[in-house]
Structure 1
Amino acid sequence: MDVDNDHIIEAQYCLPHTKSIKLYNTPCGAVSIDFKRMRVYGKSLRVRRLDDGKTEWTWYCTLRNKWNKYGDKDSKGNPSPVKSSDIERKFQSNPSSSFTFNIGSDTIEIKFREMRQVSKKKKRKVTRRPLYRKLQTGAGVSQVVSALKNVSVGTKPQWQFEGKSGSWHNFKSRSGTKTECSVTSDDIETKYQQNPQNSMVFQVKGDSYSLDFRAMTQTNLKTKHIRKVRRVLV
């Protein structure tokens, strides 16, 4: 049974840091889809994503608490020793195997079953997500259990940042206060819609921050302190 608004689910699934999405007003109440296990948290419901054969899959690994795409240049502008498409080609040939490449004298192995990048010195998490594109009706995520028929989700995006205590706060201008911010949640959403893989710069109390849409983090450009951000539908 197809899920309504599956393009919203697809957009979130394409982001490497997104672990789940919450759907409201379903016959089962509010439910959360676990993207890693493709199941609904706390319920005996399975989920699957229908593929039209045109999906471009992208591979990422964690580095300094951020998801980095294989094939992108590093901070010094050096090219990556391996492309995401190379990894995907090997994965398609045998999802239970691994992909090996070298960085200098170090041998790196990506173990598909564990979704880990392993070297002699370190292990890193790896994930595989589709590259987002506007989908045709019915070509996104589908639910094989009819209980989720006519699912609806919140439609207004709200951008939030994580506070010191782990609580989440909405982006607001707070004009005239000590924490005055140069952008609102709507401003961020406008930039996000232009390019979900991009970033933007804003100011709070005179300090400049970079908001990375792909990593879903905000970084103080002076202190380099990083906070998590998220986009929720309300």
Structure 2
Amino acid sequence: MDSGDNMGQWQDTPANGKHYEWQLSTGGQWQPIANDHVIETHYCQPGAKGIRIHILQSQVNIDFDKLETQTAGVGVQRLLLLPPGQTEDVGWYFRDDRRWREYGSTSSGTSSSSSVSSADVQRQFALNPLGTFNFTVGSAGYTLDFSTMTQTNCATGLRRNVRTRPKFTSNTGSWVSSAQLPDGDFTWEFMGDEGIWTEYEAHICSFDSAAIETQFQQSPQGRLHFQIGSSSYTLDFSRMCQVNHVFGTERAARRTAAAAATGGPRSSSGAEPRWQFQDIDGLWKDYSQGSSVSSPDIELQYQQNPAGTVTFTTARFGYELDLSAMSQRNTSTSTTRAVRRLQQ
């Protein structure tokens, strides 16, 4: 696997006005990638892990974090094509429990915002790309380690991943971007197996809710192409459905306001406790309206009797949730899954 060593190198601005150029290398020779605005659009989304492109009579997978391909002998690089003295508008993001959030933004469920912005983090990074940077959010202190691209809570030791990406602009000829990610007010979900609504999340899908919302704001009647593992899909905003490119399978999709999707008792921070179960792949998924019970329903039962049980159904099965054992049992197959309650 090869990566480009000219990342960030300034070149003469091309005639088409783009401020970037994606290139692939085979046999030691770098060549521009046609229609690289598709790659750029994905790369600018903090929730995108990478992209698969069809080129060189084969498929090439690009890892955005490492800026390398998964194909032996094929390298990738992104050149900056800016005049001397000009800089690219970049965003710095940390991964919270649900999605990637930009530094300086106010998190959902709290009025606290970071004491630093993306610009502050970028300045510190430019001074020492392998150093650390300390900052606060409310009364909590954090350390951002550029060498590992992680953020650590100084009191609890909780570590979160960090990413930096260029700010997206629909005008590829403009190097100045005022585009901002949504503040997390909307959640995007697809109808998963057993009729359960499942959120698009960055560690599973090449786009998370925030990235999808950005695309939706730009084109509410448009379409978004993305990947989940090795499978490719199209999310059709006008029809609110997800289509598998190979099998043509369609699943319903929905966009819900975060505030409207929750209710019931809240924690002292004002955030709604979330109930999740661990699926067959080891991934934690929210209880949602796809079944006969949702997180607020479970929380209400928990507040009334923390040692009780909750019975519910999905489209195909019945389940029993043991609140004291924090487990869920399929009443038909007796399959048991772990359950957790997240205090926001």
| Residue deviations 1:80-128 (CA, integer Å, cap 9, x gap) | 3211110000001110111111234432100001000012310011000
Shift of 1:35: 0.8
Shift of 1:220: 8.4
Shift of 1:191: 3.1
Q: How does 1:45-56 map to 2 (within 5 A)?
A: 45-51=74-80, 52=82, 53-56=86-89
Higher relative contact order (CA closer than 8 Å, sequence separation 6+): 1
Q: Which runs of 5+ in 1 are unaligned?
A: 140-158, 170-187, 212-217, 228-234
| Contact 1:34 1:40 survives alignment (8 Å) | yes
Match of 1:15 among 36, 40, 45: 45
Q: Which residue of 1 aligns with 2:91?
A: 58
Could you tell me how far apart the structure 2 residues matched to 1:56 and 1:226 are?
Answer: 38
Q: 1:65 to 1:189 in 2, by over 3 A?
A: closer
Could you tell me how far apart the structure 2 residues matched to 1:42 and 1:219 are?
Answer: 43
Q: Which residue of 1 aligns with 2:71?
A: 42
Residues 1:69 and 2:105 are matched in the alignment: no
- The alignment partner of 1:50 has SS state of strand
Q: Which residue of 2 aligns with 1:135?
A: 172
Residues 1:84 and 2:97 are matched in the alignment: no
| Residue deviations 1:146-170 (CA, integer Å, cap 9, x gap) | xxxxxxxxxxxxx9947248xxx9x
Q: TM-score, normalised by structure 1?
A: 0.61
Shift of 1:219: 9.9
Give the share of equivalent positions with the same residue, in percent.
27
Question: Runs of 4+ in structure 1 displaced over 4 angstroms?
Answer: none
Residues 1:193 and 2:239 are matched in the alignment: no
Counterpart residue identity of residue 221, structure 1: A
| Contact 2:95 2:161 survives alignment (8 Å) | yes
Counterpart residue identity of residue 55, structure 1: E
Match of 1:125 among 158, 161, 164: 161
Shift of 1:44: 2.1
- The alignment partner of 1:46 has SS state of strand
| Residue deviations 1:41-75 (CA, integer Å, cap 9, x gap) | 13222211111244111011011131111111122
Could you tell me how far apart the structure 2 residues matched to 1:131 and 1:226 are?
Answer: 33
Counterpart residue identity of residue 35, structure 2: N
Counterpart residue identity of residue 22, structure 1: R
Q: Which residue of 2 aligns with 1:112?
A: 146
Larger Rg: 2
| Contact 1:208 1:220 survives alignment (8 Å) | no
Match of 1:210 among 244, 256, 270: 256
| Contact 2:113 2:138 survives alignment (8 Å) | no
Q: TM-score, normalised by structure 2?
A: 0.43
- The alignment partner of 2:32 has SS state of coil
Q: Which moved more, 1:86-95 or 1:67-76?
A: 67-76
| Contact 1:209 1:219 survives alignment (8 Å) | no
Could you tell me how far apart the structure 1 residues matched to 2:57 and 2:103 are?
Answer: 39
